[in-house]
Amino acid sequence: MKSIRGRGLLCLLLLWGLCSSSLMLAWRNPTEGETDRLHRTPTDKELHIFVLSPQMQMQVGAVDLTTLHQIVCHYENRLVGLLPNERKNLAGKLLGVSVRLGKTIYIDLPIARWFTIVQHEVFGHGARVREFRGEASYTLYHPWSKKRAFTSFRLQDITISDLIQVTGGGIESNQVMAWEMERRMYGENPLHCYDWLIFAINRYVVNQYINSTPDPQLHPQAFSEEYNDGGDIAAYLAEMNYKYHGHYGVHPEEADPLLADNYQRIKKEAIWNLLDPALWLGVYYYGRYILTGKEKLTLPMLPLWGIRLMGGTRYNLTPIGAERYLDIYIKKGRHLFNFYLRKGSFEEKGWYGWGCGADRLWRYNNSHLGLRLDWWDQLKTGIGGNLEGELHHYLTPEVGIILQGGYKTEGYLMGKPAAPGIYTFFGTLVKF
């Protein structure tokens, strides 16, 4: 399974963010006092979460790699902060912009991309291989390498649906990580611009994979080579073709027409993934960071009847077919609620589902409990659901524990075990 490559679109997004931020900041024309606040270094301790699970599930990778990424970027920013950076004159401001822009392109982007690759390979393909009792090995390179990482695995006695879950597990795990970050960006604690950066890269993975896969109708030989090299999208389309039609449909001379049609379908449907407001709002905030040095962000939400709300979009490839998600985030005080609708389809087949959750549904002293409920009506498995709870308990103001457990019935749910049953993980909450 080959990893993502290419960062041209993200560089264009950053350039667009610089331009839009320049216009917005120029329009506001902040006072000197406001400008000083833009460069003030926050001293509040930040919450970091570490979780453990014997299965090393996708969500475990999403949480732990996000925490490691935050720690790496925190100390990297402290080292960069040692550089002389005079902000009171034009030359000093240009120096600051140049340092932050160079750091973004040559340090922050490669590091965020590397953590995305680890999530994709180890906690994506690897998580599904471990779940199906297989063996996996990983070939990873340093963040500045142009070589493509990949996962090698061995499985026995699995169904074609299981194999599809392994194939799509990389992209699935990146969407799990992006969703984890998106919920945090709408939460009560401000995040850093580098948190948005890793969110944006993980969100864009599925589009990058699809767009970099040769069109099987126009370039059947190149598509066949991509399939033989282990390309995720080529393998996913071929395996889905086998599942529903009994043959893979990959030929150097001419690809199966149904496979070619499905490629065009997911390419168009995946545009939905790029409509997420958090993706485009973050471009502005990252541009503002490069121009001013203000790195903390809390994504804005629309006020309505005493609450605040915002929408979001996701796109995922499942063992049944492709799914589109519409997320609604609702915030009242310190409480964040999430509701989503999901619509899946493959060729003429369709299914749907919904889910809701609250991060702080119940609170008592030093503890709070969050709950999540998911429901679906899918092909073959029919109606199913998932119920999940997450308990946070603080032993001291700066140290706590986290316990999560849930039960899932038969059916597919992004980031959750394929088999029905109970799942759990636990971890620590640390502020520093």
133 within some domain: yes
Q: Do the domain assignments include residue 410?
A: yes
What phi and psi, each to the nearest 5 degrees, are found at residue 54? -60, -30
180: its two tokens: 């984890």
The answer to the question of residue 223 being in a domain is yes
Report whether pLDDT(402) > 60.
yes
Residue 3 lies in a domain: no
Is residue 333 domain-resident?
A: yes
Whether 148 is in a domain gets the answer yes
pLDDT digits (tens, 9 = 90+) for 5-32: 444 545 555 454 444 444 444 344 433 3
Q: Is 164 left (phi over 0), alpha (psi -120 to 50) or beta?
A: alpha
> Are 379 and 385 in contact, with CB atoms under 8 Å apart?
no
Domains in the chain, number: 1
Give CA angle at 206 (201, 209), nearest 5°.
100
| Those residues with Cβ within 8 angstroms of residue 98's Cβ, 6 or more apart along the chain or in another chain | none
pLDDT digit string, tens, across residues 341-397: 999 999 888 999 999 999 888 888 889 999 999 999 999 899 999 999 999 999 998
CA–CA separation, 120 vs 61, rounded Å?
Answer: 9
When mean pLDDT is compared across 17-21, 175-179, 224-228, 397-401, the lowest value belongs to: 17-21
Would 2 be classed as within a structural domain? no
Within a domain: 105: yes
What is Dmax (Cα atoms) for the chain? Answer: 69
Residue 295 has φ and ψ, to the nearest 5°, of: -100, -15
Quick check: 54 and 422 in contact, CB under 8 A? no
List, as one string, the DSSP characters of 369-395. Answer: EEEEEEEEEETTTEEEEEEEEEEEEEE
- Residues forming a β-bridge with 400: 394, 429
> Which of helix, strand or coil describes residue 422?
strand
Q: Model confidence at 85, in pLDDT bands (50, 70, 90)?
A: low
pTM above 0.75, yes or no: yes
Host domain of residue 209:
8-431
Beta strands in 175-224 (DSSP E): 191-192
